[in-house]
Amino acid sequence: MSDNERLHKYIVPGLDCLIGDPDVLEPSAKTKLKAELMIIPTHYIERCRQFRDELSNRGEAASKLIDSFAHMLETISKNSGEEYVCKNGMRVAFQKQLDESEREAKSTAAITVLAAKWFIHNSEFEDREDVAILTGDNFLVAEASLNGIDVAHVNPEVYTGRRRLTLTAETMDAWCKYGYVTQEMFERNFPNEAPLNVNEFVHFDPFEDMETDKKHFTYYIGRFEEIEKETEEGEKVKEYVIQQIHYIHNLPKCIQPRTPGQAMLAEAIMAPADKIPIVICPAPFGTGKTFLTTSIGAQLTIFDKNPTYESIFVCPRDGELGKEIGFLPGDETAKTLAKARPITDNLESYLKLRGDKEKDGKPKSRAQIKKDIERYIQEYFEFIPIINMGGRSLSDKFIILDETQDLERFQMNQLMKREGDRSKLIITGDPEQVFNRHLSKHSNGLSYAATKMRGSKYAIVVSMFENEITRSKAAKEIAKRLG
């Protein structure tokens, strides 16, 4: 195990770490320990007070941190103690102002380093390597290194919503015979695997002796979900199993998933909104996430004989849209439409694939398809900027939040709360292409939503990877060389 992976006994978290994830101070009983004791410089309270009125990630996180600090300090005071004990057993202590050197420090990073140095020199233990600064800020990493203090790097676990396993003889037999693998069988055959999350996808590889020539790759994809079974006595019981994907069979014939990730996303979108109302898909450019979302949404809203949704609601990318939209020409729809070009481009691609014909049987021309798009947008689409989403309740709609990697957590939180009854919410984006200078691939709204909805029975999180880029050979090469 590397130094960065080992558990340090004593941690001084950088303020960047707490701002990035305020829940660090409110771990559940099952949360893995970050340290035996976490030391919080009281200087952070003043810094958070300065941040809390900002309409940003930092402002939202600062308010939450102040609430946590107040609760902890009040509990410590009531118990006449020196430490607060979290649900998972981690202890938290507050380090009061150190001395004149702290007041002279010009940065929060310097305060963090001073707190760690003070603890090293004044605590009753000999091994200074037991103390570390927890941070993802390279400036603070450099400060700590210059002062000979260990660093515990912030490397948040990325939940992909999928895993790949090789079928065993027993699971292969059950898969072919019943179309599912029970949780008990999974645990017996894969003892070293982490527990499955509800709605997590499993892509099975057949074992070597299995003939697979006649089986499409989608045959070996399942989802961990609850099903109702009938026992030998005729009693109906519910059980969690890895069941073969099945909603995908209702896809339009002109849409054929080309990768496992596309199949998983299509399955998630096709699932009824009363069962799976939320789908979150972090994926690189060129993997087909926006095309699948737009195409399936159009099919279920416009082209099906019995439409599932009344309209398609699009809240396009750009965390600064509310500030910029006034400078664009046209009414609200025209202004917002300019930011939603990926949606309309993919709608055009889908219409071409459908191969709709004129009354005389001839394929529709590009000009006619353009006219159809204008009509569909007028009749079925709503394009609304983020700034105008407050107070909305979106029922019976297919909702697309595209390119959400530049949204902040509080924006994502508010947007997701707009979903109403019988609506389907699809959230997509590429965490590797964050342009908001206040965010990272871990702290943006898309990653936040994926992390928080992990294991929810009402949400599916499914990532796609660079090896699933289908746009072109050039796109794959760009992803490989430029990232």
- Tell me the pLDDT of the chain (483 aa) as tens digits: 333 455 678 888 888 888 877 888 888 787 777 788 898 988 888 889 988 888 777 888 899 999 999 999 999 999 888 899 999 888 998 987 555 555 555 567 777 887 777 667 665 544 556 888 888 777 888 888 888 888 887 656 678 999 999 999 999 999 999 999 999 999 999 999 999 999 999 999 886 655 555 578 899 999 999 998 887 788 888 999 999 999 999 999 899 999 999 999 999 999 999 999 999 999 998 999 999 999 999 999 999 999 999 999 998 765 444 444 344 445 555 666 666 788 889 999 999 999 888 888 888 888 999 999 999 999 999 988 777 777 788 999 999 999 899 888 878 888 899 899 999 999 999 988 888 777 778 778 898 899 889 999 999 999 999 889 887 666 666 656 665
Cα–Cα distance for residue pair 265/323, rounded to 1 Å: 32
User: Could you tell me if 93 and 221 lie in one domain?
Assistant: no
For residue 103, what pLDDT is reported?
52
Residue 165 and residue 202 in contact, taking contact as beta carbons nearer than 8 Å: yes
For residue 324, what pLDDT is reported?
44
Q: Which residue has the tokens 């027993």?
A: 170
| DSSP letter assigned to residue 332 | H
Q: What is the pTM of this model?
A: 0.79
DSSP assignment of 33-90 equals PSEEEEEEETHHHHHHHHHTTSSSHHHHHHHHHHHHHHHHHHHHHHTT-S-EE-TTS-
Sign, CA torsion 142/146/147/152 = positive
Residue 254 lies in a domain: no
Cα–Cα distance for residue pair 411/91, rounded to 1 Å: 32
Residue 456 lies in a domain: yes
Element (H, E) at 122: helix 108-122
Closest by CA to 137, choosing from 106, 110, 118, is 110
For residue 319, what pLDDT is reported?
42
Residue 445 lies in a domain: yes
User: Could you tell me if 296 and 236 lie in one domain?
Assistant: no
- 306 contacts: CB under 8 Å, gap ≥ 6: none
- 27 contacts: CB under 8 Å, gap ≥ 6: 34, 86, 87, 88, 90
User: Could you tell me if 402 and 277 lie in one domain?
Assistant: yes
For residue 135, the domain's CATH number is: 3.40.50.1010
Element (H, E) at 296: helix 289-298
User: Which structural domain, as residue segments, surrounds residue 79?
Assistant: 8-153
User: Could you tell me if 236 and 285 lie in one domain?
Assistant: no
User: Could you tell me if 175 and 32 lie in one domain?
Assistant: no
Residue 26 lies in a domain: yes
Residue 1 lies in a domain: no
Domain boundary among 245, 278, 300: 245
Residue 255 lies in a domain: no
Q: Which residue has the tokens 């399942």?
A: 222
For residue 450, what pLDDT is reported?
93
Cα–Cα distance for residue pair 360/364, rounded to 1 Å: 10
User: Could you tell me if 233 and 291 lie in one domain?
Assistant: no
For residue 33, what pLDDT is reported?
78
User: Could you tell me if 123 and 25 lie in one domain?
Assistant: yes
Residue 2 lies in a domain: no
Q: Parallel, antiparallel, or unpaired: how do β-strands 91-95 and 84-85 relate? A: antiparallel
User: Could you tell me if 15 and 112 lie in one domain?
Assistant: yes
Sign, CA torsion 302/303/306/308 = negative
User: Could you tell me if 215 and 304 lie in one domain?
Assistant: no
Residue 345 and residue 294 in contact, taking contact as beta carbons nearer than 8 Å: no
User: CA angle at residue 164 from 285 to 462, to 5 degrees?
Assistant: 40
Residue 379 lies in a domain: yes
- 463 contacts: CB under 8 Å, gap ≥ 6: 158, 159, 160, 161, 162, 261, 281, 282, 283, 450
**How many domains are contained in the chain?**
3
The number of CA neighbours under 13 Å toward the Cβ of 23 is 11
CB atoms within 10 A of CB 123: 15
Cα–Cα distance for residue pair 85/75, rounded to 1 Å: 9
User: Could you tell me if 219 and 312 lie in one domain?
Assistant: no
List Cα–Cα distances, 246 to 266, 268, 370, 387, in angstroms.
Answer: 10, 10, 34, 38
